[in-house]
Amino acid sequence: MRHKTSKKVEIKWLNEPEEHDCPAALSYLSVLCGEQTATTHVNQLKCASLSEFKAKDIFRASGLSLLGISNGHVKKDQQRIELGRELSPLLLVRDAVHGKVVIADGYHRLCAVYSYDEDAVIPCKIAWHHRLLNGNEK
């Protein structure tokens, strides 16, 4: 669902993730691939340089569905956009085994941005691992 606005909204971005983003990514990735592998990915994310991708391409690569504006976290990020506050870059992990991108942190920000402009360019930090979800780690 598109967020209707009468004016073009500028989406502002931080140059680095916020302090809470990497722990959030670690928590999510630990569920997917175990704490040891998740820690490796988060360490890669901390060192990664920023890349930029369109919102629609990140969605397609992730295979996730778009959350609507009724989601509280999405609404909060939309309010940040409306107020001109900077958003944190997305933290992504390329999963070559399954041919997709895992959004380790920033799913709600992505949905909020997409609601304004599917072609919006989003800064991301990306870790890459060919065995992300191999199921061997407990």
Q: Residue 54 in contact with residue 122, Cβ under 8 Å?
A: yes
- What's residue 7's pLDDT? 54
φ, ψ for residue 42 (rounded to 5)? Answer: -65, -40
Give whole-number Cα distances, 76 to 1, 24, 51, 72, in Å.
Answer: 16, 17, 25, 6
pLDDT digits (tens, 9 = 90+) for 72-90: 999 999 999 999 999 999 9
Task: Give the pLDDT band (50/70/90) at residue 130.
Answer: low
Fold assignment, 21-127: 3.90.1530
The pLDDT of residue 89 is 98
pTM: 0.87
